[in-house]
């Protein structure tokens, strides 16, 4: 039941307490909003300061080596591929990749792969010649090229066959190429040198 017989002093005290509580609630809200705004301002200021930090200057190299550069996505992927995929691995039941280097060129992506044969398919005679037919060499390198093209597409999913070239070497001698989805060996190879 409402208290209808409050004196003026009692009524003022009762409502004063309510407005004080309400005022405290509002003060807490503003306090939290102010703290939140301060955190955001400090974060943004920290980002600006981080961008303005000086770059490490190396005394043993020219100054332009220390210039700031933000790599593009294609540059990051090129570095990632070369760092993570250039190791020795089995490509097929006949071939081993001994090393590889991926280059982003003006026309597309070029992958250079050094290979060796596995001991149970020791058909390489040296100087780019094999002790088996060109067709057998072509089939072997086509299988390796398909595997490597799949790995390249892990880094560059949108790359088309026409924008990807793979050059195979054995003892630093070119032995096969993969261009636009086709493997070339022997006299079919494009002259790149």
Nearest by Cα to 108 from 146, 142, 70, 149: 149
Lowest mean pLDDT among 10-24, 101-115, 170-184: 10-24
pLDDT per residue as tens digits for the range 72-115: 999 999 999 999 999 999 999 999 999 999 999 999 999 999 99
Residue extents of the structural domains in the chain = 1-69, 73-188
The pLDDT value recorded for residue 193 is: 40
The pLDDT value recorded for residue 61 is: 85
Nearest by Cα to 179 from 149, 137, 135: 149
pTM score, two decimals? 0.67
Q: Which CATH topology does 73-188 take? A: GMP Synthetase; Chain A, domain 3 (3.30.300)
pLDDT per residue as tens digits for the range 47-60: 555 555 566 777 88
The 10 Å Cβ neighbour count of residue 110 is: 16
């Amino acid at each position: 039941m409402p208290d209808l017989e409050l004196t003026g002093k009692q009524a003022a005290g009762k409502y004063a307490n309510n407005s004080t509580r309400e005022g405290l609630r509002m003060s807490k809200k503003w306090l939290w909003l102010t703290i939140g705004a301060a955190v955001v301002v400090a974060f943004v200021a920290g980002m600006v300061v981080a961008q303005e930090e000086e770059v490490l200057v190396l005394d043993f190299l020219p100054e332009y080596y220390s210039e700031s550069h933000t790599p593009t996505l294609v540059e990051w992927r090129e570095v990632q591929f070369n760092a993570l995929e250039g190791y020795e691995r089995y490509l097929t039941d006949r071939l081993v990749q001994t090393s590889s280097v991926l280059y982003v060129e003006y026309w597309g992506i070029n992958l250079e792969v050094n290979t060796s044969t596995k001991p149970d398919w020791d058909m390489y005679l040296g100087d780019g010649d094999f002790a088996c037919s060109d067709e057998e060499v072509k089939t072997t390198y086509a299988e390796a090229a398909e595997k490597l093209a799949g790995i390249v597409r892990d880094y560059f999913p949108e790359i088309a066959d026409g924008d990807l070239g793979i050059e195979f070497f054995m003892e630093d001698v070119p032995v096969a190429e993969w261009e636009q989805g086709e493997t070339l060996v022997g006299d079919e190879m494009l002259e790149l040198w």
